Amino acid sequence: MRPMFHPSIDDVRLEAVLHALSDPVRVAIFAAIAGADCALTCSTFSSVNERAIPKSSLSQHFKVLREAGLIRSERQGVEMRNVSRCAEVDGRFPGLIAAIIQAHAIEAKAAA
């Protein structure tokens, strides 16, 4: 299997972070991972916002989040375990992740 790309935090670009989190499904996935106490598997997100997400789309969403430097993914058997890189990203762009997650929570509450 091909190794997954995880950019160095010094190579993470603001534009890539904003692009990755501009999609409602990706920001929901990222917010869940960022708020989790442990690594979450991809299968956890087979449904997002009460909408089924096909495996191929889910794989693409995780790839965008990973390549933007927002998550770190690790294969463990047949599962992919994902953790946030919030602390690293916050060191590079202080306050950005917290502001985005808070804005997402406000929008999600309004939509409910």
**pLDDT tens per residue, range 12-61:** 999 999 999 999 999 999 999 999 999 999 889 888 888 899 988 999 99
What is the percentage of the chain residues whose pLDDT exceeds 70?
A: 99
pTM for this prediction? 0.92
Which of the 8 DSSP states describes residue 38? S
Residue 97 CA to residue 71 CA, distance in Å, equals 12
Report the DSSP pairing between strands 51-52 and 71-76: unpaired
- Condensed to tens digits (0 to 9), the pLDDT of residues 49-107 reads 888 999 889 999 999 999 999 999 999 888 899 999 999 999 999 999 999 999 999 99
User: In angstroms, what CA-CA distances link 62 with 43, 65, 106, 109, 111?
Assistant: 11, 5, 23, 24, 24
